[in-house]
Structure 1
Amino acid sequence: MAGKFELYKDKAGKYRFRLKASNGQVIATGEAYESKAAAENGIKSVQTNAAGAPTVEVDG
């Protein structure tokens, strides 16, 4: 089974998402969004931009 995005409303009423690996472990979380549509756009952005993203080491 592949990983999945979970979209949910937090206790403050904001929309958030988390990316879970196939073993159920949370491997990424999104920020708080005012609307469901904005959170869905955040998911789409991760799907689009992470696919070929390189790993870059930074100081600090």
Structure 2
Amino acid sequence: MSGYFELKRSGDQYVFNLKAGNHEIILSSQRYSSKASAQDGIASVRQNAPIDARYERKTAANGSPYFTLTAANGQVIGQSEMYSGTAARDNGIESVKANAPAATMKDHT
């Protein structure tokens, strides 16, 4: 099974997650004020996911590696979970690169 975006409503805002074929979340969005903005965010993830330079490999205060995906303008468009090590984080990046461009969308709004 291929990856997919899951668009949800959270109160009066919208969020999306990119899930791998095994249904694990591999990227989460910020909160958007409108459904159209969230859909634009999904389009931006699809466009920017294949570009390695758009990923920022980071380490949380507790030492856990994670990454963010940024748009061409430098705005963060998605963040990963916290990983147990850098190899797992790098596998997460590869999963986003592989799944996002052709991911379908499941609208749960």
Whether TM-score is above 0.5 comes out as yes
Deviation at 1:53, TM superposition (A): 2.3
Q: What secondary structure, in the 3-state scheme, does the structure 2 residue paired with 1:32 have?
A: coil
Q: What secondary structure, in the 3-state scheme, does the structure 1 residue paired with 2:37 have?
A: helix
Residue in 2 that maps onto 1:4: 4
Residue in 2 that maps onto 1:13: 12
**2: distance between equivalents of 1:14 and 1:29?**
14
Structure with the larger strand share: 2
Residue in 2 that maps onto 1:35: 34
TM-score (norm 2): 0.48
Question: What's the CA shift string for 1:1-30, capped at 9, x where partnerless?
Answer: 1100011101x2210000000000000000
Between the aligned residues of both structures, percent identity stands at 39
Q: In structure 2, do the counterparts of structure 1 residues 16 and 59 end up closer, same or farther at CA, with 3 Å as the change threshold?
A: closer
**2: distance between equivalents of 1:59 and 1:5?**
25
**1: distance between equivalents of 2:30 and 2:12?**
13
Farther off after superposition, 35-44 or 46-55: 46-55
* Structure 2 residue runs without a partner (length 5+): 61-109
Higher relative contact order structure (alpha carbons within 8 Å, sequence separation ≥ 6):
2
Paired positions, count: 59
* Structure 1 residue runs without a partner (length 5+): none
Residue in 2 that maps onto 1:50: 49
RMSD value over aligned CA atoms? 2.0
For 1:25, the aligned partner's letter is: E
Deviation at 1:57, TM superposition (A): 5.2
